[in-house]
Every structure is written in structure tokens, then in C-alpha cells.
């Protein structure tokens, strides 16, 4: 009797500690994995630019690969060397810096005007040759 109780207690202990089972950390076939959509980081073009000028590594940790909702004034509407369309944003009342936002829908660039204030949703891409980048941008 004591052996039976001891065996049952041992099994209960092992199961409660996770010592028995085949949990591999992957969902069972057919199970749906729920993804929580990250809320975009709201920032002005001035703040985004300033963070990259202060410390590129820290700014990458904060923004790179993450959804960014960036607001600023259009400084210019351009194409790069591969004909990809991007919008350069400057800060309110400031000149001589740009945050480059590469558009996912280049046709929308024809509707924009220099000096216009816009908000763009994109993904932080780091800094290239001194210019902070945002990719896959859509105009909000």
C-alpha cells in the first residue's frame, strides 16, 4: 500500500514539475498561434533624426525592425539610384536634415507636395550614409 501511494505521489510530483510529457514548445498540428500585433512607435521626424544623431546603436535598438508612425514636413520627393521612390521629412521649423521614408506605393508620391505635413507608417531601417531610414512606408 505504501508503495502504491509513493508511486502515485512520485508521478504527481513529476507531472507538476514538467518532468513527464512531450512539450517541445511548438504548437500541436492544427493549433493556431495567436500573434499580438505590436502598436507602432509614434515619433516626429525631428525626434527620430535626433535619436540617430545622438547614438546610432541606441536608436537601432529602439526603432530598427519595428513599426514606426512618423510625422513630419515633406522636404523633398525623390527617387534613389534604383528608382525607388522616397519622401524626405524634415522637422518643424528646421532645415538641413532628412529622414528618408521609402514608399511601398510609389504612385502616391505624385499626390504629395513639398512643405506638406504628413504621417507615415513604416518600419525602422537604421541609418544609411548619415540619413535615418524608414522602409515599407504608407501614407496615413
Instruction: Tell me the per-residue pLDDT of 77-112, one tens digit each, with 9 for 90 and over.
Output: 999 899 999 999 986 655 567 899 999 999 999 999
Q: What is the pLDDT of residue 48?
A: 94
Q: Which CATH architecture has domain 41-139?
A: Beta Barrel (2.40)
How far is 118 from 46, CA to CA, in rounded Å? 13
Report the residue count for the chain.
Answer: 140
Q: Say what the pTM is.
A: 0.68
Q: What is the pLDDT of residue 13?
A: 36
How far is 116 from 121, CA to CA, in rounded Å? 16
The β-bridge relationship of strands 131-139 and 99-103 is parallel
CA nearest neighbour of 121 among 108, 111, 14: 108
Amino acid at each position: 500500500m505504501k508503495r502504491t501511494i509513493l508511486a502515485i505521489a512520485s508521478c504527481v510530483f513529476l507531472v507538476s514539475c514538467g518532468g513527464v510529457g512531450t512539450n517541445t514548445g511548438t504548437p500541436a498540428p492544427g493549433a493556431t498561434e495567436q500573434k499580438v500585433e505590436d502598436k507602432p512607435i509614434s515619433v516626429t521626424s525631428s525626434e527620430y533624426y535626433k535619436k540617430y544623431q545622438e547614438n546610432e546603436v541606441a536608436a537601432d535598438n529602439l526603432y530598427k525592425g519595428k513599426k514606426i508612425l512618423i510625422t513630419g514636413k515633406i522636404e523633398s520627393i525623390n527617387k534613389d539610384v534604383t528608382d525607388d521612390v522616397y519622401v524626405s521629412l524634415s522637422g518643424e521649423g528646421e532645415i538641413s536634415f532628412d529622414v528618408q521614408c521609402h514608399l511601398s506605393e510609389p504612385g502616391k508620391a505624385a499626390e504629395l507636395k513639398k512643405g506638406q505635413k504628413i504621417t507615415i507608417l513604416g518600419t525602422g531601417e537604421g541609418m544609411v550614409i548619415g540619413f535615418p531610414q524608414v522602409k515599407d512606408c504608407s501614407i496615413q
